[in-house]
Chain A
Amino acid sequence: MTALLEARDLVRVYEISRGLWKKPTLVRAVDRVSLSLSAGETLGVVGESGSGKSTLGRMLLGIDPATEGQVVFDGQPMPAMGTTEWRRLRAQMQLVFQDPLAALDRRLSIAEQIGEPLVIHGLATKSEVKERVAELMSAVGLRSDQAGRYPHELSGGQRQRVIIARALATEPRLLVCDEPVSALDVSIQAQVVNLLRDLQEKHGIAMVFISHDLKVVRNITDRVAVMYLGRIVEEASSDVIFTHPQHPYTRALVSSVPVPGRKLEARIILQGEPPNPARRPAGCAFHPRCPVVLPSCRTSAPKLGAVGTGHIAACHLIAQSDAPLVA
């Protein structure tokens, strides 16, 4: 199967101004990330805040320009932001936001906002739009009498449903969900995640699901990529990540996810400061917090290497062992 979406050596550098006469600091938010996604596949991207996962998501959609590297969608390189081709491509790829209230116009009814992509891309007549909006609303579990409501009149979960309905309006082939449930109550989170999974399966949409929370990702993704300070440190199928994590960072993340029937005794608590992209440590970026750090970790950065079939990780410890640890 050819990839729907391919990212090749993506780099995003931000300039942080420190003053009028000083040279700005350069921050590499995303550092040489490559990945690919087939049609209908779901990929989880997991990392702490500051890991560059949201920036990566925006770059995959072409909303944030790549400093180096390129994004290829459906065999074509991503057009420059703001061009007509770029705008036309929006019908194919959509974003689900972390904060649904901020992403909605508070002066338009939700029906109008759900139908807006159809109007923008000229995909339907007025009556068709109305029909399609009703369909979308019922698909995401909104009642038809809510059509005339305004965003502030809805609950957080309902607003996220509006965002999802709007994102699905043009029947996109790629959906990037940036922390879609982290702003919601825990009780609502599962509902929205299940909704996303059902819709994804039903329509065969390829999906990138970004979250800081491994357990949210678990139920919905085929594959998981773990990011630390702008780089992917491990990537494998969802089951393998949870059962056989290789990178010490992934292990720490996995150990903190409660699993029925398993005690949380083996939980690995990470020491040290959370990562700061403006001060990336030398060598392996994770070494100041790594429980099994080697001397070489302080000086040289490990490369991503195959650990098993469809399983890659970047750690000196793993590279040293001859036999793959995968069962």
Chain B
Amino acid sequence: MTDLAGDNVVDAASPGLLRRIRSRMPLLVICGAGWLALMIFAAISTDLLRPYPVTKMDLSARLAVPGTPGHWLGTDELGRDVLSRLMESIRVSLVIAFGATVLSAVFGTTLGFLAARFRGIVEHLVLTLADFQAALPFMILSLSVLAFFGSSMTLLVLLMSFYGWERYARIARGLAISAGAQGYAAAVVQLGATPARVYLKHILPNVASTIIVSMTLTFPEIILMESGLSFLGLGVQPPDTSLGNMVGFGREYLTRAPWVMLAPAFVIMLTTLSISVVGDWLRDRLDPTVR
């Protein structure tokens, strides 16, 4: 028994691993996962690796063409290094999107569980709120809130964390109700468990995979939403930088220096594309009930 387990470990670490991954993941998924790994690496190591400080201006080298030694992705209108700013932007955008996705999942799942636990008026309230959320385009809602409260990073993350909560709430509520109707949850209630135990120890682990699957759908949407707002100048504010806000500022120099806008635009495209490809693949693996 122990011998067998040992063999497995050795096997997993051997060069066969690559081939094994290949046989289980399509090429596209590998590319997607690779790109995402690169993005995460860039986000984490930006403080160590970026060639210049984000706001360092080099007025002698304004709008330098990509490929210029020292500025491999060129510079912008103030002579700031595009690569350095891009790495910082990746970090900001990913952190916002990740934080917001997690908050939204926690918020939505909690409301869904509350609706399932108390039914009646609580449930009606949650469903009405979900309807309200569906009736108002999120972009419009965010625009009004951001503009009137002024834009700050905290507010932006908080706002983004309302994105998609109603999906989690609906999923969590539906699964919890069906588990409670005659399933394992009813059995545990009957054993004398407190509601907290029923929901946290039994229902939550059972709905987790479905929730994670929804998170892979929400994550790229939040990236798009944040970059859209920043593009309009209402999201991340200078001197902070994010992918959307780089595209927004790069737009002014579209004719003379398209690279300032193209670099972050491609990063956004490839990142959201990779997440959906990898997410689709994960979805098929993790949860055969959600297609």
Contact = CB atoms under 8 A, between A and B. Distances in A.
Contacts of A95: 187, 190
A215 interface: no
B197 A120 contact: yes
A102 B193 CA distance: 17
Nearest to B192: A90
Contacts of B192: 87-91, 117, 120-121
B188 A106 contact: no
Nearest to B183: A102
A107 interface: yes
Most chain B CB within a 10 A radius of its CB, from A99, A104, A105: A105
Contact of B183 (A103, A107, A116): A103
B191 A106 contact: no
Contacts of B193: 87, 116, 120
Interface string A74-111: 00000000100001111100110101001111111000
B191 to A, nearest CB: 5
Given A105-B202, A107-B205, A107-B206, A120 B191 contact: yes
Interface string A267-299: 000000000000000000000000000000000
Q: What DSSP secondary structure best describes chain B's contact surface?
A: helix
A287 B193 CA distance: 45
B194 A105 contact: no
A90 B182 contact: no
Question: Interface extent on B, as a size class?
Answer: 10 to 19
A85 to B, nearest CB: 11
Interface string B176-190: 000000111011111
B66 to A, nearest CB: 51
A60 interface: no
A9 B164 CA distance: 50
Given A102-B182, A102-B184, A103-B183, A61 B205 contact: no
A63 interface: yes
Contacts of B182: 99, 102
A166 interface: yes
A79 to B, nearest CB: 12
A181 B43 CA distance: 58
A143 to B, nearest CB: 16
Question: Interface extent on A, as a size class?
Answer: 20 to 34
A97 to B, nearest CB: 7
Nearest to B181: A102
Interface in A99-134: 99, 102-108, 116-117, 120-121
Contacts of A106: 184, 206
Interface string A18-58: 00000000000000000000000000000000000000000
Contact of B187 (A61, A82, A104, A107): A104
A89 B193 CA distance: 11
A97 B188 CA distance: 12
A116 B191 contact: yes
Most chain A CB within a 10 A radius of its CB, from B188, B190, B193: B190
Given A102-B184, A103-B183, A103-B184, A63 B190 contact: yes
Contacts of B206: 105-107
Nearest to B185: A105
Given A107-B206, A120-B197, A90 B190 contact: yes
A14 B182 CA distance: 17
A83 to B, nearest CB: 11
A50 B222 CA distance: 51
A94 B186 CA distance: 12
19 contacts: A61-B190, A63-B190, A90-B192, A94-B190, A95-B187, A95-B190, A99-B182, A102-B182, A102-B183, A103-B183, A103-B186, A104-B184, A105-B184, A105-B202, A106-B184, A106-B206, A120-B192, A120-B193, A121-B192
Given A104-B184, A108-B202, A116-B191, 14 more contacts: A87-B192, A87-B194, A88-B192, A90-B190, A95-B190, A97-B187, A102-B182, A102-B184, A103-B184, A103-B187, A120-B191, A120-B192, A120-B197, A166-B191
